[in-house]
Amino acid sequence: MRISRSNVSTEINKTGSWRFVRPGYDEKTAPCSNACPVGQDIARIEMLMGQGMFPAAWETILRENPFPAVCGRVCFHPCERVCNRGEMDSAVGIHHLERFVGDLAIERAYALPHPFYGDEAETDRRATGGKTVAIGGAGPAGLAAAYFLARLGHTCDIYEADSEPGGVLRWGIPWYRLPEDVLKAEISRIVDMGVKIYCQKPITRDFMARAREQYDAVFLGCGYGRSLPLWIPGEEKVLNGLAYLHDIRGGDNTCTGGRAAVIGGGNTAIDVARSLTRLGVEPILVYRRRRQDMPAFDHEVEMALAEGVQLMPLVAPVRIDGGDGGMVLTLQRMRTTRMETAGGRCRVEPDGDRTETLMVDQVYSAIGAEPGENWLFPPEHQPGQLRMSHCILWEHPDARLPVVFGGDLTTPVKSVTDAVASGKQAAMALDTRFRHGGKAIPERLGACRVGDGTALSMEIYLSGRRKTRNPAIVPFSALNTDYFAPAERQAPPVLSPETRCGSFEEVEGAYGRDAAVQEASRCFNCGICNDCDNCRLFCPEVAIYIDGTRCINLDYCKGCGICVVECPRNAMTLEEEAS
Amino acid sequence: MIHSPLPQTDYMASGHVGCPGCGATVAMKFALRALGEKTMLVIPACCWAIIAGSHPQTSLKVPVLHTAFATAGAAASGLRAALDMRGDTETTVVAWAGDGGTFDIGFQALSGAVERNEDFIYVCYDNEAYMNTGVQRSSSTPFGTRTTTTPGTNWKHTRKKNIVEAFAAHRIPYAATASIAYPEDMIRKFQRARELKGGSRFLHVYATCPTGWRVPSDQCIKIARLAVKTRAFPLYEVTDGVRYTLNHDAEPPLPVRDYLSVQGRFKHLTDDDYGEIQAMVDEDWELLKRKVALAPEEARA
């Protein structure tokens, strides 16, 4: 019997000619990364964590931020507010995960990755031509600037006014939020890189005048160490909130029990109030607006209220009378108006003559702060200045060298992570100025932006793999949520309010290893490929193959778009074919 | 890097002439990944008679016997007998037919073959009409569908034939549904069917047809997934014609409207029509659940 037989493969048909749209791999930016002041590559970090690759996850953080264990605790995690997972069930516990891997790195003494960036050639190029930079202030901004400058091959000396490094981390944030050993471990990693820290040696104007003899540039990140005055009669009886926190962390307790009024609604006020409850004092928070207008992180306010802190909203202090036997705080009742501040908080005005009095034993003020010395203020628009999102570079006419103002002095948001961001921005700006001149800074730094925000990526600066990533931000609607089932967010252990009031023990516990892997697996990994292989699996043309990485054989791809739609995390894009 | 537990070798080549986003080609890809090299296909007239390559081309890396429309069941029986005569018991014979060649034109030959309990796997890749010849209705076309032979207000007013029930009634060793949107489930069922040698195995595979259903080609898998999630196409297995196992609970179900309203072929349906179809889906699901409940737990697949 004769049957005609086919023996030629259909591969001779180049069906790619049918195509009018073209799929491609196109990694994008996750909303969390975009919101992160330091632009951490969170989607990749969580992907690695979910696979149990903790050292690699930690290294990914360290490319953008030297303080995972610290920031995992104290950052106000804007990342979680924009997490796409929040639209399905609840945001990924990004800060808990960061803390988990930060602590693990300390416990296991993970070594800094080498080469840190790109390839060996980059490291070699950076081995010579390093400059020397003086840094004023060993707070988060100064330490971050030193870390990144040292990473870029420069030598740094930090001058710190206080007896130990850390700035606000060491003296302003109570132990129950940031234990001392965690901070010390992360600072010692920077010292081990060769950064010298000189304590009780503040940068002075004299120093600035002679800095040129020893240094090529100066970074000033001295922070806001001086509390703002209340400008009311009896002010001299008021205790300084910041100084009080400093004393506690120094081991001194100056409080004497009883009842205390804490004036202010920011994080310092909350820290003071919560510290007072731990020392047996009954604190009352006196705040001129409403609870929802408080600049303190909501989570912190909630914790404080649970611990028994009382809140008196809509009152402003007008005078303080009395002495050691008890003080009388006279308060003006305030009322809300229809107007809002630039930050979206409600404006208030005095509610007629309505006043009331509050009997307390002490009054603490925590209404804000400013730099310790006036000359540390960055000058208003001067020639030779480059104003960036988080710092100001000034070709100082007197010192005759480049000076960068960073940290609280210049950041738009006064937070630890924004201070780190300013340190990183300063390091990039100075490195660019040293190597390519000051004019090159805006363009070079502009190219390092993560998404459409102000965060800069050191990985991009040094041409790492993230450089090719599309700055477009992945919206929830671009994800294929068929691949994600609802899963409850892992909650770390938290001390009960009763236990908390008795000690300065850390309030929030850490994830265990299993909880960390589970939580990281909840991450959608928005915009990045995690090798799920859906594109290749579903391709009806068998036109996707792996050659080191996934590739599309455009000879055969008909442009059906299945790969793009079935990509759960929007790491592919369909583009119209050029005609 | 691939973390997938699925078999990774493809026995299908690029350059075939399936429409962009063809669900039937995805079905073949998964089937052959599961069945492997030792497979012979019998393909009657259907889309795949073209996709497998017009002479002298072939898009498949396993042997294919093209047969007449009505004869897949008979030809597969003969191919099996011929292999047995040559002492080849290893090769799996697979008849691969569309819904027209299974529900309608090939029904007689297939019914006869499975009544004899012939040793082959019969796969119906179901795109719910005669797509290859221009979208004519078949007895697999669902209630409410517009095709070129059920146009305008004359859209199909009868229900889709329940083909798995028909072959379960033949008491064959294994009958199951599968969907291209659930590759793990589908590949497991093909592997199971291959292992259950010695009798007739029937697999009813849901295969989206972007061309005939008037949906964008990139929605191929999404729509297949919706069919399962709305319970319009439940995933289940029947062993020995009586023991039912549900593979996907679809809990809570999406309204069937979510599945219908995204397809051009159902665009004309009114709220009342949707209600009527939902009632049909609910009724079929209840029936299926009762059959599943009848099978003792330990006897389930």
pLDDT of residue B296: 66
Q: Which CATH superfamily is domain B23-295 in?
A: Thiamin diphosphate (ThDP)-binding fold, Pyr/PP domains (3.40.50.970)
Residue A460 lies in a domain: no
Which strand (E) or helix (H) includes residue B97? strand B92-97
| Residue A117: predicted pLDDT | 61
The reply to whether residue B220 touches residue A560, judged by beta carbons under 8 angstroms, is: yes
DSSP structural state of residue B87: T
Task: Indicate yes or no: CB of B218 within 8 angstroms of CB of A561.
Answer: yes
Q: Identify all chain B residues contacting A18, using CB atoms and an 8 Å cutoff.
A: 20
Q: Is B16 close to A10, i.e. CB distance below 8 A?
A: yes
Mean per-residue pLDDT of chain B: 95
Cβ-based neighbours of A558, under 8 Å, separated by 6 or more? A15, A16, A18, A19, A540, A541, B20, B21
Residue A123 lies in a domain: no
DSSP string, A470-491: --PBPPGGGS-GGG----PPP-
Residues A438 and A572 in one domain: no
Tokens 């510290």 belong to residue:
A275
Give the orientation angle of helix A94-108 with respect to helix A42-50, to 10 degrees: 60
Q: Total structural domains in chain A? A: 4
Q: What is the DSSP letter of A111?
A: P
Residue A21 lies in a domain: yes
Q: What burial letters (b/e) apply to A21-42, b meaning 16+ CB within 10 Å?
A: bbbebbbbbbbbbbbbbbbbbb
Q: Are residues A100 and A176 in the same domain?
A: no
φ, ψ of residue A463 in degrees (nearest 5): 60, 40
Q: How far apart are CA A402 and CA B241, in angstroms?
A: 84
Identify the domain containing residue A54 by its residue range: 31-113+471-521
Does residue A458 lie in a domain region?
no
Q: How many CB atoms lie within 10 A of CB A563?
A: 27
- Nearest-Cα distance to chain B for A572, in Å, is 13
| Residue at A466 is within a domain | no
Percent share of chain A, pLDDT over 70: 97
Which chain A residues are Cβ-neighbours of B12 within 8 angstroms? Answer: 542
Provide the ipTM. Answer: 0.96
Decide if B216 touches A, using CB distance below 8 A.
Answer: yes
Question: In which band, very low, low, confident or very high, does the pLDDT at A254 lie, cut at 50, 70 and 90?
Answer: low
Domain ranges of chain B: 23-295
Chain A window 465-484: which residues touch B at a Cβ cutoff of 8 Å?
A: 480, 482
CATH of the domain at A260: 3.50.50.60
Question: Residues A89, A219: one domain?
Answer: no
Chain A neighbors of B216, CB-CB under 8 A:
561
Of residues B42, B178, B174, B43, the one with CA closest to residue B114: B174
User: Would you call B13 and A12 a contact, using CB atoms and an 8 Å cutoff?
Assistant: no
Among A557, A492, A442, A422, smallest CA distance to A146 is for: A422
Show residues of chain B in contact with A559, CB under 8 Å. 20
Looking at the structure, do residues A179 and A206 belong to the same domain, yes or no? yes
For residue B80, pLDDT beyond 80: yes
| Mean pLDDT confidence for A335-339 | 87
Distance (Å, whole) CA A158 – CA A172: 19
Same domain assignment for residues A424 and A488: no
The answer to whether residues A281 and A267 belong to one domain is: yes
What phi and psi values does residue A225 have, to the nearest 5 degrees? Answer: -100, -10
Contact B4 A533 (CB under 8 A): yes
Query: What is the average per-residue pLDDT within A469-480?
Result: 95
Cβ atoms within 10 Å, residue A197? 21
B179 touches chain A (CB under 8 A): no
pLDDT tens sequence across A38-88: 999 999 999 999 999 999 999 999 999 999 999 999 998 999 999 999 999
- Same domain, yes or no, for A233 and A360? yes
Q: Look at chain B and count its residues.
A: 301
Contact A546 B217 (CB under 8 A): no
Most confident range (mean pLDDT) of A206-210, A355-359, B127-131 is: B127-131
| Band of pLDDT at residue A472, cut at 50, 70 and 90 | very high
Question: What is residue A118's predicted lDDT score, i.e. its pLDDT?
Answer: 59
Cβ contacts from A onto B, under 8 A: 114
The torsion of the CA quartet A419, A422, A423, A427, rounded to 10 degrees, works out to 180
CA atoms within 13 A on the CB side of B64: 28
Same domain? A246 vs A361 = yes
Q: Is residue A333 domain-resident?
A: yes
Q: Are residues A283 and A365 in the same domain?
A: yes
- Tell me the shortest Cα–Cα distance from B154 to chain A, in angstroms: 31
- Res A371: pLDDT: 80
* Of the residues A326, A343, A370, the one at which a domain ends: A370
Please name which of B112, B95, B91 lies closest in space to residue B172, comparing C-alpha atoms: B112
Q: Which residue has the higher pLDDT, A347 or B161?
A: B161
d(CA A446, CA A74): 28
For residue A165, is it within any domain?
A: yes
- CA dist B224 and A537 (Å) reads 15
Q: What is the mean pLDDT of residues A529-546?
A: 95
CATH number of the structural domain spanning residue A542: 3.30.70.20
Nearest residue on chain A to B24, alpha-carbon basis: A540
